[in-house]
Amino acid sequence: MDTPLSAKEYDELENILNQFQKENVMNVEGIEGLFTALISSPEMTQPNIYLREIWGDKGIPANDALQNDQETQDFMNLLMRHWNTVVNKLNGGGVFIPVFLKDPTGITNGNDWAQGYVRGVQLHQEDWSGLLQEKENANALIPIVALAHEHDPDPKKRTYDEPISQELRKQLIAGLSTGAKDIYKYFEPHRHQSALAAKAKQTFKRET
């Protein structure tokens, strides 16, 4: 389960998701953004919560894409392995490199990743309130929010009035990568405390 997905497996995962795009199902890029925020969050997120985000409140739908329990399990294994890959990337000492898809013109936009991340933050909005109130740490979110709302119909939510140039996009994507790692480190003590509290709540069982 710690083996990163191969290019072929990413394509397999994306092909399954693509069959539901008309139903607002997230793509692989959006899922990685969502996973990155949830893994960084102080509180652990159960799979049933993020599956509703991925599938738009429908759970895992059954159709030609997932014809039986085995195919559903295989799909879940791909998701779990990708979750673990994101964990390892955030824990690693190197640069955090997100998975981005290219648009039909071959350009990497980063919008879906950023939107997935914002959705992850919104799932634990109260837990993120401390970071959001600290200007220095909250700045790590600026490039993510800028890309998430680049095409928002509400101009008040857009960071830039003018279209984002390719040079600025490269800077925002670099900031997104750095910011995701910084936020993960910021919440590390919180996650540790949360894990200790969860462990303390476990039912004590006698040996005999």
Long-range contacts, 15-19 (Cβ 8 Å, 24+)? 16/65, 16/66, 16/75, 19/63, 19/64, 19/65
* 3-state secondary structure at position 162: coil
Report the largest interatomic distance among the alpha carbons of the chain, rounded to a whole angstrom. Answer: 70
The predicted-structure confidence for 17-41, as pLDDT tens digits, reads as follows 887 766 678 999 999 999 999 999 9
Rounded to whole angstroms, the Cα distance separating 83 from 35 reads 6
pTM of the model: 0.88
**Residue range 113-130, pLDDT digits in tens:** 999 999 999 999 999 998
**Inter-residue contact 113 to 98 (CB < 8 Å):** yes
What's the mean per-residue pLDDT of the chain?
A: 87
Return the SS3 of 104. coil
* CA–CA dist 71, 207 (Å, integer): 40
Strand partners, 108: 102
| Residue 146 and residue 179 in contact, taking contact as beta carbons nearer than 8 Å | no
Confidence of residue 61 (pLDDT cuts 50, 70, 90): low
For helices 166-186 and 69-91, give the axis angle rounded to 10 degrees.
90
Nearest to 39 by CA among 100, 88, 112, 109: 88
Rg (alpha carbons) of the chain, rounded to whole number:
18
